Structure 1
Amino acid sequence: MSAQGMSFSLQNRRVLLTGAGGGLGLGASLALLRQGAHLLALDRDTDALQKLRETVPDAFADQLQILPVDLADETALQHTLDRLTADQAIDVVINNAAIYPSKRFEDYTDEDRALIHRINVSAALQIVRTALPGMRQQQWGRIINVVSITLSGGWELLQPYVESKGAMLGNTRAMAREFGATGITCNAISPGAFPTAAEAIHPDLPGYERMVLARQSIKRRGHADDIAAAILFLASTEAGFITGQTLSVDGGWVMH
């Protein structure tokens, strides 16, 4: 079933999604809006946000709040978060945004590593920290962290990125343990090798695609609706007894 056919209602839930305009974020944004969410769409790419605005059907336009924010800018992000939480709780946080540079281990500078950690880890924790009081007060909340198939160890030249996703996986489990008593769940989604702009780092794209399909059990490429369906489920009331888990959406690539 595609995300368009999912029946998990998010009516009037305030959902904050980072990286909302591009890659897998656009499909997730549209799916969340279709389910009645009030979407707080964060992205630093203003062109991607404009595409999101133009893609959203008129029927859902009032549910969308576009927020151009660079997660690397801690002060600007906090200002935005303070405005969003001043009068209402954020019900669902989806930490999707990440940067994905590719270099040899010895070629990453300290500045490279600090920026990757800031965007992929620290900004996500900043968002959760700000949303948490409202979730606790209402005794309900959903936190979804997007991690990565690269944690399986099958990729080179991505060490700081893989490190950041490992940190987010650990954070998912720690937050699930600590927040559960107040009705808040925290889970991770681990996408497989999806055809997004991030694949441009691979010099031989046709060869890369053949490798992906050979390793998957399901012999098609993933698409945004596959991730959106997982997000809708984990964000729903129906998933309230699931926490601290990692849902791999990878066509059967990594099996535990």
Structure 2
Amino acid sequence: MNGSLHLRQSGPKAPGALSGLRVLFTGAAGGLGHGTTLALLASGAEVFSIDRDHAHNESLRSEAHAARLHLIERDLTDTDAVRACLRDIVKGGAINVLINNAAIYPTKPFEDFTLEEQRAVQAVNVDAALVCTAEVLPAMRAQNWGRIINVTSITLGGGWENLSPYVQSKGALLGLTRAWAREFGKWGITVNAIAPGAFPTDAERIHPDPEAYNRFVLDHQAVKRRGTPNDIAAAVMFLASDGAGFITGQNIAVDGGWSMN
């Protein structure tokens, strides 16, 4: 019996008590992923980060100073290379938590996107999640425990123009969240989504007037401050914990009250 399985059999843990968990996190080095990775490491998890951005990887490496962080530079569209990498990781022990976070978000009017450009967005934002989930699922099923967290988006509620391939991809992830939750629940695996609101990251550089956009965001939120990486990290760590074992198939908005369902 491995240590991680024994951890789950020992009884409920407080949210955030992630010691011993092995986490696979795509797009973990940049944007909101960076802060969430640091929080996971601080909570005792071992994190396998897949991110193709070398500068982001080096920044995370310099800040983390943790032997439990494994930085893997891979292009998620290279399916064969990603599969081979994941199989090597799983040989060393089951992945307990999968966070499908990697995404690209080109912006222009719908009619200006070629079909190839739309497929490129799907390859990173959806197909990579399919590959990662397929590779980690057998070991999760064998240990009768697992957490899959998909990162969707506030844009699913409308209100943003010129992002149709991105919005389409996040809709696909939401559908997969619900389908997988139903299918995997019998093996003790929960599947949930987190929908971040308008966080101040590099993605906001697409807006020509940052101050006006900041006002727009705060006007729509019930909480009158901008979100921080810690807000996302808290939601991720809760959903990864034993405390969230009876929550599945949900899309949890972390958006300061922008959307209320």
TM-score of the two chains, using structure 1 as the length reference: 0.95
**Is residue 143–residue 184 contact of structure 1 (8 Å, CA) maintained in 2?**
yes
Which residue of structure 1 aligns with residue 209 of structure 2? 204
2:126 corresponds to: 121
Which position in structure 2 is the counterpart of 1:88? 93
Secondary structure class of the residue paired with 1:40: strand
CA distance in 1, matches of 2:50, 2:18: 19
Runs of 5+ in structure 1 lacking a partner?
A: 1-5
8 Å contact from structure 1 (residues 9, 236) kept in 2: yes
Instruction: Provide the aligned C-alpha RMSD in A.
Output: 0.9
Task: Find the residue that maps to 1:242 and give its secondary structure.
Answer: coil
1:78 corresponds in structure 2 to 83
Residue of structure 2 aligned with 1:12, choices 16, 20, 24: 20
Corresponding residue for residue 153 of structure 1: 158
Query: What CA distance in whole angstroms lies between the structure 1 residues aligned with 2:239 and 2:116?
Result: 35
Task: Report the CA distance shift for 1:7/1:132 in structure 2 as closer, same or farther (over 3 A).
Answer: closer
Amino acid at match of 2:58: Q
Structure 1 position 54 matched with structure 2 position 62: yes
Which residue number in structure 2 is paired with residue 98 of structure 1?
A: 103
Supply the distance in 1 between the matched residues of 2:247 and 2:74 (Cα, whole angstroms): 31
- How many angstroms does 1:7 deviate by? 5.3
Contiguous gaps of at least 5 residues in structure 2: 1-13
Q: 1:13–1:37: 8 Å Cα contact kept in structure 2?
A: yes
Separation in structure 2 between the aligned mates of residue 37 and residue 168 of structure 1, nearest angstrom: 25
Deviation at 1:79, TM superposition (A): 1.4
Any idea what the Cα deviations from partners look like across 1:66-118, whole Å, max 9, x if unmatched?
11111111111111111111231110000111001101001001111111000
Stretches of 4+ moved more than 6 A in 1?
A: none
Establish whether residue 222 from structure 1 lines up as the match of residue 230 from structure 2.
Answer: no
Q: Which amino acid aligns with 2:56?
A: A
Give the letter aligned to residue 49 of structure 1.
N
Which residue of the partner structure matches residue 174 of structure 1? 179
Q: Which residue of 2 aligns with 1:112?
A: 117
| Count of paired positions | 248
Correspondence 1:238-249 to 2 at 5 A: 238-249=243-254
Aligned-residue offset at 1:252: 0.3
Matching residue's letter, 2:55: D
Q: Does residue 1:45 correspond to 2:50, yes or no? A: no
Aligned-partner Cα distance in 2 for 1:147–1:26: 17
Partner of 1:33: 41
Aligned sequence identity (%):
56
Aligned residue number for residue 235 of structure 1: 240
Amino acid at match of 1:191: P
